[in-house]
Amino acid sequence: MKKSLLALAVLGAFAGAASAQSSVTLYGLVDIGIQRVDPKAANTASTTGITAGNQSGNRFGLRGSEDLGGGLRAVYQLENGFSLDDGTLGQGGRIFGRWAWAGLAGSWGEVRLGRQWALGFEMFGSIDPWSTGFNDAGIQSVMSTPNAVRPDNMVMYRSPNLSGFRVNAGYSFQIGGAEAAGSGNNNRFTTLGAQYGAGPLLVMATYEIYKPASTTAIGNPVDAKYVQIGGTFDFKVAKISAAYAIEEGIYASGPSSLQPRRFALPATLPTGVTGPQDASAWQVGVTVPVGSLSLIGSWAQRDFDAAALNDGRVYAVGFTYPLSRRTNFYGYYSDADQKNVTAANDRKEMTVGIRHSF
């Protein structure tokens, strides 16, 4: 009897050790609400209906790691995006359109290969009081790379936390789809980022370059460059945030969520745009805790160097309220438009919804 118990204990120990060497986590998030959109253009009707992924994009995913010994681990993440209101796939119909990468990690940091987020998108979610969500309200309305940019075919190095300081660097051989033969036939993307966090302070900066293929439908494009700096400070009674961006060689007008720049050059140029332009953008925001309730407010603006273009601005107010550790209720109001004219895409949004993570 004692020998049997000893054998069971040994087997249990081995099983525990095996499970400790490898782990897989299934996770996800569902977000749905009701939204009213009031366009400012004449003779354009308002719409009211179900809308999904307002505060955060709907998703489910797998992340895991395996201990390879000597402090080395194999790591990976596969994350699907979908629309909860109709069940369709997001990110252009990709099965794993939000994240799809594998790599190695150790005390020296981490190297990932695959589809990942631009650092301007990933890192500035910590600066934006809307966490690059809430549709027009978020910082993605006026800055390009925080607007859900996820390059394919990217190799990324991520440093460990060095007394609050981190650096990241990535390079995409082809930002969308499979690499084409010939170095001049791919849309390449470089993303660099650094941040420092200590106590109530968080500051960061990113620098990114989009180098399009040598020929396009609109002629010979120039490289697009993006510099972003930002920070937050938590006073406990209120958390303030500020961000500033300089963008060179972009094709867009107005708030970028209304006329998205993205990273596919247009077949035709937006109205009033004769070629690549330079712009600056900024956002200031505040989050105020009132018991369990969080009140949010922000103002964001985009200004082009060329006077002929229509600059854009967005202001927004909203709230989140936790119903449990995993579920929260939210609502927001945003007003976005081009400053110089009433454009067809100018609008007001009013949304309430519920979000649950698992």
Tens of pLDDT along 256-311? 544 434 455 555 666 666 677 888 999 999 999 999 999 999 999 988 887 666 68
What integer pLDDT is reported at residue 273 of this predicted model? 65
Query: In the predicted model, is pLDDT for residue 82 greater than 80?
Result: yes
Mean per-residue pLDDT over the chain, rounded: 88
pLDDT class of 238 with cuts at 50, 70, 90: very high
What integer pLDDT is reported at residue 8 of this predicted model? 41
148 Cβ neighbours under 8 A, 6+ residues apart: 57, 121, 132, 140
- Of 1-5, 201-205, 336-340, where does the model show the most confidence? 201-205
Query: In the predicted model, is pLDDT for residue 326 greater than 80?
Result: yes
Beta bridge partners of 250: 277
What integer pLDDT is reported at residue 343 of this predicted model? 67
pTM of the model: 0.88
What integer pLDDT is reported at residue 215 of this predicted model? 60
Question: Which two structure tokens, joined as six digits, stand for 15?
Answer: 């099983």
Are the C-beta atoms of residues 189 and 154 closer than 8 Å to each other?
Answer: yes
For 6-24, what is each residue's pLDDT tens digit?
444 433 443 444 445 899 9
What integer pLDDT is reported at residue 10 of this predicted model? 38
Query: In the predicted model, is pLDDT for residue 81 greater than 80?
Result: yes
Query: In the predicted model, is pLDDT for residue 153 greater than 90?
Result: yes
What integer pLDDT is reported at residue 304 of this predicted model? 84
How is residue 326 annotated by DSSP? S
pLDDT class of 255 with cuts at 50, 70, 90: low
Query: In the predicted model, is pLDDT for residue 5 greater than 50?
Result: no
The residue among 16, 231, 251 whose CA lies nearest residue 129 is: 231
What integer pLDDT is reported at residue 185 of this predicted model? 87
What integer pLDDT is reported at residue 286 of this predicted model? 98
For 50-74, what is each residue's pLDDT tens digit?
999 999 999 999 999 999 999 999 9
Are the C-beta atoms of residues 117 and 132 closer than 8 Å to each other?
Answer: no
Q: Give dist(CA 57, CA 274) in Å, integer.
A: 34
Query: In the predicted model, is pLDDT for residue 46 greater than 90?
Result: yes
Give the E-state strand segments of the chain in sequence order: 22-39, 47-52, 59-69, 72-81, 99-106, 109-115, 154-158, 165-172, 188-198, 201-211, 224-234, 239-250, 277-290, 293-304, 312-322, 327-338, 347-357
Pick from 130-134, 145-149, 159-163, 289-293: least confident: 145-149
Please compute the mean of the pLDDT values over residues 83-87 and round it to a whole number: 95
The dihedral built from the CA positions of residue 348, 350, 353 and 358, taken in this order, carries a sign that is positive
301 Cβ neighbours under 8 A, 6+ residues apart: 142, 281, 282, 283, 311, 312, 313, 314
Query: In the predicted model, is pLDDT for residue 104 greater than 60?
Result: yes
The residue among 114, 108, 104 whose CA lies nearest residue 73 is: 104
SS3 305: coil
Calculate what percentage of the chain has a pLDDT beyond 90.
71
The β-bridge relationship of strands 165-172 and 188-198 is antiparallel
What integer pLDDT is reported at residue 79 of this predicted model? 98
What integer pLDDT is reported at residue 11 of this predicted model? 38
The residue among 285, 273, 302, 205 whose CA lies nearest residue 239 is: 285
What integer pLDDT is reported at residue 12 of this predicted model? 46
